[in-house]
Amino acid sequence: MEFKLQATDTASAARAGLITTDHGVIETPIFMPVGTVGAIKAVHMTEMREQVKAQIILGNTYHLYLRPGLDVIQAAGGLHRFNGWDRPILTDSGGFQVFSLADNRKLTEEGARFRSHIDGSLHMFTPEKVVDIQRVIGSDIMMALDECPPGTSERSYASRSLDLTMRWLRRGWKHFNETRPLYGHSQAFFPIVQGCTFPDLRRRAASEVAELGAEGNAIGGLAVGEPAEVMYDMIEVVNEILPADRPRYLMGVGTPANILEAIERGVDMMDCVMPTRNGRNGMLFTDHGIMNMRNAKWAKDFSPIQEDGAADVDRLYSKAYLRHLFIAQEILAMQIASIHNLAFYLSLVRQARQHILAGDFATWKRAKLEAITRRL
């Protein structure tokens, strides 16, 4: 994997670049749709390519390991061949999912022992095993195993958690360098900067991560309960230290506003389930504001969902029709809303990139932020 920094905004830390992988080039800043079990919920891969215009998607190590299982994925020749996506894939290590299990997991020096949410069976993730699993999945970018403590953690817990994460990181990095890809394409390994909301812990983690010299780096443990302003502060703290010549990935963030704020602070890559999850519940993000499609105000509004939207569904269907589908609990409603929201997110980061290259990102961002956060 290679990263080329093309431009930095004159009035902010926003950056535009190119990430080159064996499955294609990614223009940054980029939003990455989440396909937890190897599929973007309610959206075909053809729609991901042609309507959403996604350049890279996510899979999840925890979920794919449990179902369909590594034997199936390896027999298929890796996740790309299994799910029909021929562009880059990034896999999360599963650390966040194990963290979410809370009552059904135990962390030790060896790794994370947990019970499957599917059948209660007992499993163990070590830093080395997570690398091996992601070798089998065949993702273009794999993540280190980490612990993701709550955003409201006390300092003593956050410090112990970070120490464990960094020891796991060194083991995972060593194993990554001692193993090879299985399917003929290269794979990159991203360490994750933790440290909760404590600037000194974040700085220490970022410094240790930077010293590894990995092909890219991630910022984890944010958007897990802390106020948005604290999250933005932590991004700034970390990005002052992470190397400028490597892509920076902010994990699990966020709203359209979060994305613009992160880009302004020098983030290159982001992912979140919000566009599809909120879409399935009737919330649409647009260039002009946020719509709740279940509201009665749309019942006789026969104008397009978004006349200047990024996807064909925006002009093909009316607001009234989409509301009708939601009220009738028709599956098509979830498909339309998911495609619309994903296409909007990808359009938003394309617009951001264009304005970074043009040198007026900060000015554009202020006006854009006001437009996309209003309630329609």
The one-character DSSP state at 112 is E
CA 235 and chain centroid, separation:
15
Is residue 271 flagged as an active site residue?
yes
Distances (CA, A) of 154 to 104, 158, 192, 279: 22, 6, 20, 34
How far apart are the C-alpha atoms of 299 and 303, rounded to whole Å? 11
Q: Which position among 146, 268, 271, 314 bears the catalytic label?
A: 271
Q: What is the CA angle 145-250-245, rounded to 5?
A: 95
Beta strands, E only, 149-282: 188-190, 192-193, 217-219, 248-250, 269-272
Distances (CA, A) of 174 to 69, 209, 211: 25, 13, 14
Q: What is the CA angle 115-58-223, rounded to 5?
A: 75
Provide the token pair at 361: 């990102």
Provide the token pair at 200: 């000194």
Question: How many other CB atoms are there within 10 angstroms of residue 46's CB atom?
Answer: 9
Q: What is the CA angle 314-274-9, rounded to 5?
A: 85
Q: What is the DSSP string of 242-273?
A: S-TTS-EEETT---HHHHHHHHHTT--EEEES
Is residue 92 flagged as an active site residue?
yes
Peptide bond between residue 221 and the one before it cis (omega within 30 degrees of 0): no
Q: Are 58 and 40 in contact (CB under 8 A)?
A: no
Q: Which position among 9, 92, 146, 268 bears the catalytic label?
A: 92
How far apart are the C-alpha atoms of 346 and 40, rounded to whole Å? 14
Show which residues are catalytic.
92, 271
